[in-house]
C-alpha cells in the first residue's frame, strides 16, 4: 500500500483540558480548566503539536486562541474582548493562581494572556494585559483599570497599573506574592484628585468626616485582604496633601475661643485650605511628625498617631491664630495678648484625642496660659 502522511486534523467542537498539579482546589485536587467549543486545525510539524488559530469558549466567555506543545514545553495564547466575572477563576487558573479574594469584575474584562509551561512541566510563567471598565476589590471600587502583568514563580507584578477611583487617577507598581499564605503585596503608587469623603465613606466607617481633594504618594507593603488583616500587617509611608476641605465633628478655633472666654464662632466644622503630612505606618498605627492644617484664621502644626483598627487619635499640636483673630480676642481678653508671638499671633498648645469619627479637642493648657499671663503681668508692673 502507498505511504500515507497526515499532518493536520480539523477539530470541531473540541475541548482542551489544562490540569495544574500545583494549583489545588479547596478539596486538595488538581485544578482542571477547560477550553471548550474549539474549532480549528490540529497540526503536527517537526515534533510540535499545535492548534495555530482557533475560536473557543472559556466558560461562558468567547475567546480567540492558539496553542502548541513540544520538546520546549507548552504555550497557550488567549485573547478575549469580554471575560465575564463568572469566568474569572478559570482565567486566573490559566495564569497559575487562584483569584484574589473579594475581586469582582463589575463589567467584562478585555484580556490578552500568554501562558508558558517549561519543558520540565513545572515552571509556569504568564504575561499579558487586562483592561476592565469597573471592578471591585473588597470595598474598593475602581474604574478604567488597565493592568499589564507578568507572573513568574508565583509572583504577580504590574509595573504600570493605572485606574480611576473616587474621581482620582492612579499610576503605579503593584506586586503580589501569591505563594505566601496569606498573599503578600507591595505597592508604590500615586493618586491625584481623589475625593476624600467619597473614598473614606466607601471603604471605611469614616463617613462624612473629612472632605477635600487629595494627592497621595504611597509606598507600602502588607498581607491579607480583609480590613483587619491589612491594618495589622501594613507598613510603609504615605505622603498626603488635601486641599479645600473640612474636618467635621471638630472645631479647634471655637474651642480655643471658649477656653479664652471670647467665643465668636461656633459649630463643629474646621474648614481648611490645606491639610498635609507624611504618615509612617507600622504595627497598626500611622505616625506623623509633620502634620499641618492651614485655614483662614487658624494654622495647626504638630505630631501624633492614628490607630488603624479603632481609629483612635493622639495628636499634639500648636495652634496659631491669624493676626486679625488674635487682635479680636486680645481686645476682649487683654491678658491673652501675653500669648502672642512676635507677629502678633496667638499661639496655644492643643491636644486632639478621641477617634477619627468623634475627635476631642483638649489639652489646651489653661494652667500654662494663666502662668504665662501672670508672669507677663508682673513683669509689666515692675517695668513701671
Check pLDDT > 70 for residue 366: no
Sign, CA dihedral 85-90-92-97, equals positive
How many Å apart are CA 197 and CA 210, to the nearest integer? 6
The 10s digit of each residue's pLDDT in 131-141 is: 999 999 888 89
How many Å apart are CA 298 and CA 300, to the nearest integer? 7
| Average pLDDT value over all residues in the chain | 85
Angle 379-330-304 from CA coordinates, rounded to 5°: 90
Please give the pLDDT value at position 336: 64
Please give the pLDDT value at position 359: 83
Query: In 3D, which of 265, 245, 246 has the Cα closest to residue 255?
Result: 265
Bond before 182 cis per omega within 30 degrees: yes
Burial of 251 (0-12, 13-18, 19+ CB in 10 A): buried
| Residue predicted with more confidence, 234 or 343 | 234
Check pLDDT > 70 for residue 1: no
Please give the pLDDT value at position 384: 39
**Model-level pTM?**
0.79
Check pLDDT > 60 for residue 364: no
CB 186 within 8 A of CB 175: yes
Residue 8's pLDDT band (cuts 50, 70, 90):
confident
Please give the pLDDT value at position 193: 95
The 10s digit of each residue's pLDDT in 93-126 is: 988 888 777 889 999 999 999 999 998 887 889 9
Mean pLDDT of 313-331: 84
Amino acid at each position: 500500500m502507498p505511504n500515507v502522511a497526515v499532518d493536520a486534523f480539523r477539530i470541531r467542537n473540541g475541548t482542551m483540558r489544562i490540569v495544574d498539579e500545583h494549583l489545588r482546589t479547596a478539596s486538595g485536587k488538581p485544578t482542571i480548566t477547560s477550553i471548550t467549543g474549539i474549532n480549528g486545525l490540529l497540526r503536527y510539524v517537526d515534533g510540535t503539536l499545535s492548534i495555530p488559530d482557533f475560536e473557543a469558549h472559556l466558560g461562558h466567555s468567547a475567546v480567540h486562541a492558539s496553542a502548541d506543545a513540544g520538546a520546549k514545553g507548552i504555550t497557550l495564547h488567549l485573547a478575549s474582548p469580554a471575560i465575564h466575572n463568572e469566568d474569572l477563576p478559570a482565567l486566573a487558573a490559566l495564569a497559575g493562581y487562584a483569584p484574589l479574594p473579594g475581586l469582582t469584575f463589575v463589567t467584562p474584562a478585555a484580556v490578552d494572556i500568554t501562558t508558558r509551561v517549561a519543558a520540565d512541566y513545572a515552571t509556569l510563567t504568564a504575561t499579558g494585559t487586562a483592561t476592565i471598565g469597573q471592578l471591585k476589590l473588597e470595598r474598593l471600587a475602581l474604574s478604567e483599570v488597565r493592568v499589564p502583568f507578568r507572573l513568574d514563580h508565583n509572583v504577580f507584578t504590574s509595573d504600570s497599573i493605572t485606574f480611576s477611583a473616587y474621581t482620582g487617577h492612579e499610576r503605579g507598581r503593584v506586586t503580589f506574592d501569591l505563594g505566601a499564605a496569606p498573599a503578600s503585596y507591595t505597592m508604590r503608587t500615586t493618586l491625584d484628585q481623589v475625593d476624600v469623603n467619597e473614598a473614606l465613606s466607601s471603604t471605611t466607617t469614616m463617613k462624612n468626616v473629612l472632605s477635600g481633594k487629595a494627592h497621595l504618594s504611597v509606598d507600602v507593603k502588607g498581607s491579607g485582604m480583609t480590613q483587619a488583616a491589612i491594618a495589622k500587617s501594613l507598613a510603609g509611608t504615605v505622603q498626603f496633601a488635601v486641599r479645600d476641605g473640612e474636618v467635621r465633628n471638630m472645631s479647634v478655633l471655637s474651642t480655643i475661643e471658649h477656653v479664652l472666654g471670647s467665643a465668636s464662632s461656633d459649630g463643629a466644622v474646621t474648614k481648611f485650605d490645606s491639610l498635609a503630612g507624611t504618615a509612617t505606618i507600622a504595627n497598626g498605627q500611622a505616625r506623623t511628625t509633620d502634620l499641618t492644617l492651614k485655614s483662614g484664621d487658624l494654622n495647626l502644626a504638630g505630631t501624633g498617631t492614628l490607630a488603624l483598627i479603632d481609629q483612635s487619635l493622639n495628636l499634639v499640636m500648636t495652634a496659631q491664630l491669624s493676626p486679625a483673630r488674635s487682635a479680636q480676642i486680645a481686645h476682649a481678653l487683654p491678658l491673652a495678648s501675653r500669648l502672642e508671638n512676635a507677629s502678633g499671633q496667638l499661639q496655644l498648645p492643643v491636644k486632639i484625642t478621641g477617634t477619627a469619627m468623634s475627635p476631642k479637642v483638649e489639652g489646651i493648657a489653661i494652667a500654662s496660659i494663666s502662668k504665662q499671663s501672670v508672669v507677663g503681668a508682673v513683669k509689666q508692673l515692675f517695668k513701671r
